[in-house]
Homo-oligomer: A and B are copies of this chain.
């Protein structure tokens, strides 16, 4: 279907316009998550998305003024749905492993994440940079909190810096996704994350230099 630019959302004084705009935005994101999951992020130029949705380029730009904003909205929506998963917040590295396993079922979303990471470290993508920096800050803090709980319970040795171990665990998970996407037969991300769980030492403080 082809339709004119959707002016309703721009004029919320019109009856139902605001709600209609919100629904349309959600509908675009639904379709985008499906497209990215199936075809990867390359299919997500504003023009090809507008074509696939059967709306005008102008209508799409009304909701998402740039490709960066569309990609960020898609990833945020994915994160919101992911946070509803029941396994969240049990143990530090185990949670990461389960989340990574779910992500790997949808290579398009891993591609999207990799694209956002690469955009974020380049000039010219300020919104992506801010989103990714804030995301890492939040993720490190959440994971460090779980690590401190594991340390209090004797599951992780308590002389390890929780923030640094959080950075390390996130880095392993992110880095593995790229290796796995490029060579799924050679790299088993879940097995490597299990190796990380296995080498993080348990129990109380061990004096430096003490035998393992």
Contact = CB atoms under 8 A, between A and B. Distances in A.
Interface of A: 40-42, 110-111, 114-115, 117-124, 129, 132-133, 136-137, 140, 157, 160-161, 164-165, 167-168, 170-176, 178-179, 181-183, 186-188, 191-192, 195-196, 198-203, 206, 211-212
Contacts of A129: 182
Contacts of A165: 195
Number of copies: 2
Given A114-B118, A171-B179, 8 more contacts: A114-B117, A133-B182, A160-B198, A168-B196, A171-B172, A171-B176, A172-B172, A174-B175
Nearest to A211: B203
A174 B167 contact: no
Contacts of A183: 133, 136-137
B182 A136 contact: yes
Given A121-B181, A182-B133, A161 B195 contact: yes
A178 B117 contact: yes
